[in-house]
Amino acid sequence: MSWLIFAILLDFGFVQICKFSQRRGYYAPVVVSTNYLVLSAVLAAWLLATDRFTFSAAAMQTGLITGAVFIGSMSLMMRVLEVASVGAVLTAFRISIAVPVALGIWLWQEPVVPSQYGGIVLAFPALLMMTSGTRGNARAASGKTFGLLFAVFLAQGMSHSCLRSVHYAGLDGEFVQILTVMGATAGTIGYIYIAGRMRRPKRSELATGIGLGAYNALALSVIMITLSRLPGTLFFPATGCSVILLDNLSAHFFWKERLNRLSAAGVALAILAVALVI
């Protein structure tokens, strides 16, 4: 369980760095793509230092697919943010944990006890309620926009599922190689996108991306170790609710963002959901 707590805290820290980047007005594709390339470089250096710089065909394939899914999900979310409110997009992003949880039960027969079912069920309204406090534009969601939000939900859910599949593919011992290939793939595709938009990265954006990548090398490694030890039916609801819970508390006390009543009720419900899941 200590690995789960460590993973939650590191994931929360990642969210806070991203929020700092957003508050500074940095161009997200530059920060995120730089993050992926640095993550790949850090892990590649570690593999070289430990004389493990070898990649099986399965690790290469999994890394390439995961990297493409990760950067595709990010690009889609950036596109949808142009036509939908921030709150709606974040809600779709957060409840995407339903995808790996469902796959864990249906495809991988992951264990779930009755109390955990209750926690999983409570996690989704808790996420919806906590995300309701996010400010964004007030544009109404048309049928097309709803479809895009559903695409965000599926894309992010598949990102989670790609990480989860590593364990069931018997590749736990090669997760560093997989993350190295994933980072290189996602970062390269990201910079191709940036070049296509003819956007020149700023020093501050690059510096933030470098710091984020070094941090993410540790965070994702811990998440992969945790996923190798715990079922996704426990990991994803627990981390999803806990990170948003901590983010809401941080927003209220540190970022000085007002927490509305619905979000506050969601925080209370999230505490109950996490207690039941764990």
Which stretch of 105-114, 222-231, 256-265 has the lowest confidence by average pLDDT? 256-265
**Residue in the block written with tokens 């599922």:** 161
What's the first-to-final CA gap in the chain, in angstroms? 9
- pTM here is 0.85
Of the two residues 84 and 135, the one the predictor is more confident about is 84
Q: How confident is the model at residue 221 (pLDDT cuts 50, 70, 90)?
A: very high
**Nearest-angstrom CA–CA distance, 77 and 54:** 33
pLDDT tens digit sequence for 55-80:
999 999 999 999 999 999 988 887 78
